[in-house]
Structure 1
Amino acid sequence: MVPTHLDRRSNSMKHVLLPIDGSTRSLRTIDMVQQTYRPQDTEVTLLMVLPDQMHIDGQFARDRMARKAAQELETFAALLPGWTVRTELLWGSPGPEIVYYARERGFDALVMTRSSRGPLQKLGSVATYVVRNAQFLDLIIMREAAP
């Protein structure tokens, strides 16, 4: 069931943020966007936030992480042919970076998965942070399907 505020019949352009971590779990966000929105009415931004560990790992490791993340973002973008897709890579703490980016860029909705496993566990720490701090937009938290 599609929430009424995300109804496919809406005529206005929607700006949807998909924070992804490169996992297969993140693929579910792509499916949710395809089921909820229309490509002609939606601009999707794929966002990956990497931990800023330069003080520990050094510039070489950071560059390697950035290249790998950029490849993963492009792989996910290719799963949305016919859609307007942007990719963004940020460094920092995922929860605060996601909320800040969503607020600054004026997104209408955010689609993400939880990282906790098992049907009885609560939302992961990043999803919990986003739920508590991103009340300015339509928010979808898509739970991981039970095994």
Structure 2
Amino acid sequence: MQSNDARTLLQCAVPTAVSGIIAVAAALVLAGGKGGIGAAVGTLLAGGVMAMGLIVLQRTAKHLPHLFQSMGLVLFMTQFLLVAVFLAVFKHTTLFDTKAFAFALLAAVLVWIAAQTRAHMKAKVLYVDPESGDAQKPAPAGSPS
């Protein structure tokens, strides 16, 4: 993983973890122990799915840049389906409070997206390969090239 990719991952994971801690604390106060567990599970699910997506997209951009845009769309659908499967499996669970889970999941995803947007806007990544200065100079008129 390149340093700018690791930096982006860190800049997304830290605010998401902070929002998760806040969500767990709020859910513990408002919904008790099961609410805290639900908020923790929601935050972990969102962070895990989003981190997996970012890592896969970064590897795709590095190894198969021509598939980058279509891979982004496939990745979005895969993330959506993973969360949908998790929701279907735990639809009627009594392990945790589903409302606290849902709010924490939503908050974590929104914080991750905002942090990822900010990280990409702040990143100083070249999108054009700079060539050496000699290669860009035109040859003088009349000289063999």
TM-score (norm 2): 0.31
Structure exhibiting the larger radius of gyration computed from Cα positions: 2
Q: Which one scores higher on RCO, CA 8 angstroms, separation ≥ 6?
A: 2
Higher strand share: 1
